Amino acid sequence: MPPFGKVWALITHGEWASTFEDIAYRRTGLSLRARLNIVLQNLSHALRWPISFAIPYYLTVEPASICNLQCPVCPCGLHKTIRNPAILPLADFKRLIDDIGEYLVLIQMWEWGEPFMNPDICEMIAYARSRGIVVICSTNCHFFEEEAVVRKLVDSGLDGLILAVDGATPEVYEKYRVGGDFRRVLAGIQRIVAEKERRGSAKPLLHLRMVINAFNESQIEAFKELGETLQVDQVAFKTINAGMGGESKNPGILPQDKNLIRKKKARHFQYRCLVSWCNPVLFSNGRIGLCGLACRGETELRATSDAASFFHVWNSREARTFRKNIRADCNHYPFCRECDCREPDFQRARFGVEKVARRMPSQPTGSQPGRGPGNGGRR
């Protein structure tokens, strides 16, 4: 159960504050029904009965299951995803938000693929934000070339944006982010920073992230400097999952420094998975899934467009069977055996989050393109 203070703020003020992927957020204005729903939902997690009493208050949405990059351990970039690549229709997203938006605290607006390849992404974010739902997204930063898109992004009210930039120089960046263009990425980030500054907007909070791999492990300090040069809000690091979605184990991608590697030790550990009780996914094909990491659609249920309501799909026979099997044996499904979340080290996967110091307005350097590391300025 959540701590008493959190429950008190929920019941008395309809407020829920926490952090998600190291980004602090606060959902306000929850209705009485939504407050009661959160209590029931926590009871469902605790009991792990096959039937869930309430609507989950975290939702993952996959705006697109296609990507412009070919990262060496990602099943989407390597085209190993068995689900047909798709772009989530705006109507499917709106239908689900109309159905359960009142109860939602937060939407994680990515799963596999690049969210900004969906032309309606900013409308989706704005639609959720207009209902007070916190929205956090992650991007490879290749789709901020047009000022109009950047304006729409800031207008959407997005709460937090993870800028997945896995290197501090073009040569290193492009080894992991295969097919990526480092200069285009930096220019896109600079456009968002400038637009936020022009509007005096604190949102979206910009969280610059490096997943540490064999190529970039010596660039930790340079990456922090990149964050300062770009004037994002936070810089952070994450240890790499060398076989995302259980698809493509690639040990050559691991850093040399053993302290920067997740330790695998718990394959037989009795993991108490809660994901199918609390975090459904709206996949890009319009179907509801019980686990987003099951990238081949192993936990897919019906589309909400075919059914009476989300609650009906959420507690369908298939969903109940899935929960029953997971509860009885955390190794029941082969894809669960590959799941990194069950490793105790997963809890420490993200680290080193630092707030970037704001530059004084009189300070003359750095905000123009061409001055930063990797942009030819310092190395």
Ligand X SMILES: C[S@@+](CC[C@H](N)C(=O)[O-])C[C@H]1O[C@@H](n2cnc3c(N)ncnc32)[C@H](O)[C@@H]1O
Which lies closer to ligand X via its Cβ, residue 344 or residue 370?
A: 344
User: Closest Cα partner for 212 from 178, 234, 236?
Assistant: 236
Question: Of 209, 262, 323, 342, which one interacts with ligand X (CB under 6 A)?
Answer: 209
Residues facing residue 237 across a β-bridge:
210, 351
Indicate the DSSP class of residue 64. Answer: B
Least spacing, CB of residue 245 vs ligand X, in Å: 9
Least spacing, CB of residue 77 vs ligand X, in Å: 8
According to the binding rule CB under 6 A, does residue 211 interact with ligand X? yes
Which lies closer to ligand X via its Cβ, residue 117 or residue 133?
A: 117
Least spacing, CB of residue 205 vs ligand X, in Å: 14
Which lies closer to ligand X via its Cβ, residue 134 or residue 244?
A: 244
SS3 170: helix
Which lies closer to ligand X via its Cβ, residue 162 or residue 230?
A: 162
Whether residue 115 has a cis bond before it, omega within 30° of 0? no
Per rule CB under 6 A, count of chain residues that contact ligand X: 17
What would the x/- binding string for ligand X be over residues 303 to 332, using CB under 6 A?
A: ------------------------------
According to the binding rule CB under 6 A, does residue 138 interact with ligand X? yes
**CA–CA dist 288, 285 (Å, integer):** 9
Which lies closer to ligand X via its Cβ, residue 92 or residue 111?
A: 111
Beta strands 205-212 and 160-164 are parallel
Least spacing, CB of residue 350 vs ligand X, in Å: 9
145-164 positions binding ligand X, by CB under 6 A: 162, 164
Identify the sign of the CA torsion 256, 337, 137, 32. negative
According to the binding rule CB under 6 A, does residue 73 interact with ligand X? yes
**CA–CA dist 350, 207 (Å, integer):** 12
**CA–CA dist 250, 153 (Å, integer):** 35
User: Helix-strand-coil percent breakdown of the chain, rounded to 5?
Assistant: 40, 15, 45
What would the x/- binding string for ligand X be over residues 235 to 254, using CB under 6 A?
A: ---x-xx--x----------
SS3 56: coil
What would the x/- binding string for ligand X be over residues 84 to 123, using CB under 6 A?
A: --------------------------x---x---------
CB 195 within 8 A of CB 238: no
Least spacing, CB of residue 74 vs ligand X, in Å: 6
CB 59 within 8 A of CB 105: no
CB 235 within 8 A of CB 193: no
**CA–CA dist 129, 174 (Å, integer):** 34
**Angle at 178 (CA atoms; ends 177, 183), nearest 5 degrees:** 65
Which lies closer to ligand X via its Cβ, residue 71 or residue 150?
A: 71
| DSSP class per residue in 349-369 | SEEEEEEPPPPPTT--SS-ST
Region from 46-54, 71-79, 225-233, 321-329 binding ligand X, contact rule CB under 6 A: 71-79
Region from 142-150, 153-161, 233-241, 312-320 binding ligand X, contact rule CB under 6 A: 233-241
Region from 3-11, 138-146, 286-294, 330-338 binding ligand X, contact rule CB under 6 A: 138-146
* Segments of the chain assigned E as strands: 16-20, 23-27, 58-61, 106-108, 134-139, 160-164, 205-212, 234-239, 281-282, 287-289, 300-303, 350-355
Least spacing, CB of residue 162 vs ligand X, in Å: 5
Indicate the DSSP class of residue 330. Answer: T
Least spacing, CB of residue 244 vs ligand X, in Å: 5
Q: Diameter of the chain by CA atoms?
A: 63
Indicate the DSSP class of residue 33. Answer: H
What would the x/- binding string for ligand X be over residues 159 to 198, using CB under 6 A?
A: ---x-x----------------------------------
Which lies closer to ligand X via its Cβ, residue 224 or residue 238?
A: 238
Which residues contribute to the site for ligand X (CB under 6 A)? Answer: 67, 71, 73-74, 110, 114, 138-140, 162, 164, 209, 211, 238, 240-241, 244
